[in-house]
Structure 1
Amino acid sequence: MTVGTENGAAKPELIHVRPDADLDHVVEILDREGAVVVEDFADATTLAGLREDLGPGLEESGYSESGYDGVKTKRLSGLFKRSTQMSSVVTQPLYLGSARRLLQKPTHCWIGKVRMEVTPSIQVSFTQAIRIDPGQGRQPLHRDDAMHLWRHPGPPCRLQLMLAMTDFTSANGATLVIPRSHHWDDERPPTYAETIPAVMPAGSALLWQGGVYHGGGANTTDSPRYSLSVALDLGNLRQEENQYLAVPRETVQTLPEEVQRLLGWDRCPPGLGQVETQDPHLLLERTPQELVGMPRGANPLM
């Protein structure tokens, strides 16, 4: 299968858009192709801050012992406690806007004779800085929503990003993607011959649905490839990375409310994540004892 570019180039590559692209257009690409590259996703200041904040931790990290994670690959998690730049990454309009469009689909349930309309929340499920060093081979191709044993075809449960902190090339380990593979069923295996490398300059970001087959490429150069990844999942699924333990409460209190809620300090309708039947966001300013004395919510599922 060949995916053409919007500029008519003959060489197969992923579709690239600018950061001021129309959100409807980006969502349409993600629906159809499953993946898109947003150029200039992060500005120079954000990128420099991320490198400064995350570089030392990656240097100190050990290599993985598993072939899946990469024996010449270093990984660093808990990024919201490590860099103040993460808020601007997760709230970038095309990323957060696309995630809300794709994942937050209204649904309903019956409470007695009342048809209750609900829209699920979304949450940060996973954060990781990645350094693929020279000599690292290709990662096994996989779907990230396999973490939730998600079935295909079907509606998405995740939108993930890979931010290039250095240039991504075919030689240094650019992420390998199989466009449109989110439409496949669960019996069709992926092959490397079907992949397209996400070649992009530093500061660009690859966005892809959780059902898209992908994997890190091989680094045959003499320099490391740096990146970071964030996943936004449906709020009714368990987070892949336990953000309540990964990010201290004191750090969460310094973040914008939208980011606090994305990290899980929120209640997913109709009532998942509640504390004393209350919105857990209240715990950033109140004690659990104070929540007990507050008026109870009117939600019948609470």
Structure 2
Amino acid sequence: MAELTRVKSDAELDDVVEILEREGSVIIEDYVDDVTFQGLWADLGPVLADTRHSEKGYDGHLTRRVSSLFRRTTHLTPVVTQPLYLGASRRIMEVPSHMWVGRARIPVTPNIQLSATQAIQIDPGQGKQPLHRDDSLHLRRHPGPTSRVQLMLALSEFTAANGATLVIPGSHHWDDERAPTYAEATPAAMPAGSALLWLGGVYHGGGANTTDKPRTSLTVSLDLGNLRQEENQFLAVPRETVLALPEEVRRLLGYDRCPPGLGWYEMEDPHIVLENPEAEPAIRTAD
């Protein structure tokens, strides 16, 4: 059972990218500061306590899940924009490519977007989640280019006994015919406030909680901008909430265009209309 590599929050971005591309996952210690950590608990703890357990077995019959997190907390921005997470996601997924338009060879680089946000609490007695790849949602084939970088922030301590996320290091290099086994998985044991990052092609799953206390976490995914978001952020986050966020986060939520030409509104940048509805582009009509 391979140990997961750990770095501090002040690690070099190049080092984190190298680890992710080689091993598929990395633990970042001291990922958030105390203000952010306590703010997340204050906002999300009561919501989780009032949430029923999931109804689908895959999601965990003794697991609570709360989505639409940008609507429920004002402390998510530093989690998403943390330089190692956002920087590594951009470096790994925003890969330059090209296309031909007639006889012109046009360079093009896709951007990334927020796909899903969720707080997860695994209660005592919950068994192991089936091992899976998150990028299977987009029917990605493996091995292949990365289309998702996922983050799991520990809001409580993660241990092998309380349901720490199970990860199979290096499994993003496997083809699609090799099935995962629990014997190959390593629990992402880490202190509260730390974060696990992993690529969408890595096999992983929630562990079993055999203790008498819940394991609590928060997860965020960043996907390629030319794929459909897992969580519909346009419904999940009210417009007034979006406007209170930094422009970088607004665009990550989907109010942006992905090159070469996805996400426009009246063939213009949707962020213009988000900021000022009165600036809505005029509809082009025939003379």
TM-score, L = length of structure 2: 0.97
Judge which range, 57-66 or 220-229, deviates more: 57-66
Written as runs of structure 1 = structure 2, the 5 A alignment for 1:76-95 is 76-95=66-85
Letter in 1 for 2:214: P
Q: Residue in 1 aligned with 2:222?
A: 232
Change (3 A) 1:250 1:16: same
Letter in 1 for 2:258: C
Written as runs of structure 1 = structure 2, the 5 A alignment for 1:197-212 is 197-212=187-202
Q: Cα distance, 1:287 vs. partner? A: 2.5
Q: Secondary structure at the match of 1:48?
A: helix
Letter in 2 for 1:118: V
Distance 1:287 1:54 in 2: 32
Q: Deviations over 1:241-278 (max 9, x none)?
A: 00000001110000000000000000001110000000
2:30 to 17, 40, 49: 40
Aligned length: 284
1:172 and 2:143 aligned = no
Distance 2:8 2:279 in 1: 49
Q: Secondary structure at the match of 1:251?
A: helix
Q: Secondary structure at the match of 1:291?
A: coil
Q: Deviations over 1:200-221 (max 9, x none)?
A: 0000000000000000000000
Distance 2:73 2:195 in 1: 18
Letter in 1 for 2:188: A
Distance 1:289 1:252 in 2: 18
1:275 and 2:248 aligned = no
Q: Residue in 2 aligned with 1:7?
A: none
Does the 8 A contact of 2:266 with 2:283 survive in 1?
Answer: no
Q: Deviations over 1:127-156 (max 9, x none)?
A: 000000000000000000011011000010
Distance 1:51 1:73 in 2: 17
1:148 to 135, 138, 158: 138
1:196 to 170, 178, 186: 186
Does the 8 A contact of 2:272 with 2:279 survive in 1?
Answer: no
Q: Secondary structure at the match of 2:27?
A: strand
Distance 2:177 2:225 in 1: 27
Distance 1:95 1:115 in 2: 32
Q: Residue in 2 aligned with 1:300?
A: none
Q: Residue in 2 aligned with 1:6?
A: none
Distance 2:215 2:165 in 1: 11
Letter in 2 for 1:202: A
1:286 and 2:273 aligned = no
Distance 1:132 1:288 in 2: 46
Distance 1:256 1:277 in 2: 23
Letter in 1 for 2:186: I
Letter in 1 for 2:124: P
Q: Cα distance, 1:187 vs. partner? A: 0.5
Q: Cα distance, 1:57 vs. partner? A: 1.1
Distance 2:282 2:48 in 1: 43
Q: Secondary structure at the match of 1:70?
A: coil
Q: Residue in 2 aligned with 1:217?
A: 207
1:182 to 155, 172, 178: 172
Distance 1:258 1:250 in 2: 16
Which consecutive residues of structure 1, in runs of 5 or more, have no partner in the other structure?
4-12, 295-302
Which consecutive residues of structure 2, in runs of 5 or more, have no partner in the other structure?
none
Q: Residue in 2 aligned with 1:124?
A: 114
1:249 to 230, 239, 245: 239
Q: Residue in 2 aligned with 1:74?
A: 64
Q: Secondary structure at the match of 1:292?
A: coil
Structure 1 segments of 4+ aligned residues over 4 angstroms from their partners: none
1:139 and 2:136 aligned = no
Does the 8 A contact of 2:165 with 2:187 survive in 1?
Answer: yes
Letter in 2 for 1:109: M
Q: Residue in 2 aligned with 1:51?
A: 41
Q: Cα distance, 1:285 vs. partner? A: 2.2
Q: Residue in 1 aligned with 2:97?
A: 107
1:64 and 2:54 aligned = yes
Distance 1:290 1:45 in 2: 38
